[in-house]
Amino acid sequence: MKAFLIDRYGENHGHIGEVPVPEPGIYDVLVKVHASSVNMLDSKIAKGEFKLILPYSFPLILGNDLAGVVVRVGSGVQHFKPGDEVYARPPESRIGTFAETIAVEESALALKPNNITLQEAASLPLVALTAWQVLVETARLKKGQKVFIHAGSGGVGTVAIQLAKHLGAFVATTTSTSNVAWVKALGADVVIDYTQQKFENVLRDYDVVLNSLGPVELEKSLSILKPGGQLISISGPPTAEFAKEQKLFWGLGWVMRLLSSGIRRKARKQNVSYAFVFMRASGAQLKKITALVESGVITPVIDRTFPFESTAEALSYVERGRAKGKVIIKLI
């Protein structure tokens, strides 16, 4: 089968090559991939930014989102059958959705929402699970609380805004001038044009911040939180708690404790908490997201679609950081 892969870290975006069709294990589902989507995570993995915590072997097939049709199931699979339309973010140890087929653990899969296309479904798993695990699972966001979501026009931002509004929160976000009205239409109550204003000069007394940007924005976010507020980052720095969850070598836990010590110390000074969330695969949570999509609470947002042959170009486009929503790779 054809797959988009890299032969070493730091390779210039990778290439399409021929690899064997995966053989599904007892609890695996073999899926014919119709569409995938590109995340910044793909580029970071390719550059080797996660090699200490995710020790991949080569050649490595990239890709963290999929939507497709079940071809075959392992003998222990109970909830899926050939012909089912499904979507998923595979577990981080078994990525590889930029390929014609993939074997995915049953526990990571969910049936595709019945009111959207396979391409639209492919845009959702990683970003929707990220938004869910930050806002519902970690922040336990409640009706009437105030949440600030960085980068509202990005993949995570577009879904997180919709989910936060569904949970009854007051939502603020940032975007560029051309996207202000568009992001407001997604449901944001306050949209700050970052080319004209600094969010830390405008916002006050927020309960939760979802940070997806760098260390400068992370530190500035502390000033807008009320006492008892939560600063939750999906872009780091990671914590010792994360190392424990991932069952990493104890030395890495010490390193991560050190990396996050500065922001944790500053957070404590302001009586707020800091947490790092690294999204994990979950078919059960994806099933809940399916219900929200089918009820119209969450609508996929797609910027552009690239053919499989242009996967390298799609990665370059996402790296520029100007996509509105998600970028799709169409295989069928």
Per-residue pLDDT tens over the stretch 184-236: 999 999 999 999 999 999 999 999 999 999 999 999 999 999 999 999 999 99
Flag whether 74 is in a domain. Answer: yes
Residue 53 belongs to a domain with what CATH number?
A: 3.90.180.10
Same domain for 266 and 189: yes
Tell whether the torsion through CA atoms of 110, 112, 114 and 120 is positive or negative: positive
Same domain for 180 and 159: yes
Same domain for 196 and 84: no
Same domain for 266 and 148: yes
| pLDDT, position 250 | 82
Same domain for 152 and 42: no
Same domain for 263 and 139: yes
Same domain for 130 and 113: no
Q: For residue range 234-292, what is the model confidence (pLDDT) as tens digits? A: 999 999 999 988 888 889 999 999 999 999 999 999 999 999 999 999 999 999 999 99
| pLDDT, position 249 | 82
Same domain for 240 and 157: yes
Residue type for position 45: I
| Distance in angstroms (rounded) separating the CA atoms of residues 37 and 30 | 19
Same domain for 197 and 149: yes
Question: Which residues form the domain of 207?
Answer: 126-276
Flag whether 82 is in a domain. Answer: yes
Give this prediction's pTM.
Answer: 0.97
Same domain for 130 and 111: no
Per-residue pLDDT, averaged over 67-94, amounts to 98
Same domain for 175 and 42: no
Tell whether the torsion through CA atoms of 272, 273, 274 and 278 is positive or negative: negative
Total structural domains within the chain: 2
Residue 225 belongs to a domain with what CATH number?
A: 3.40.50.720
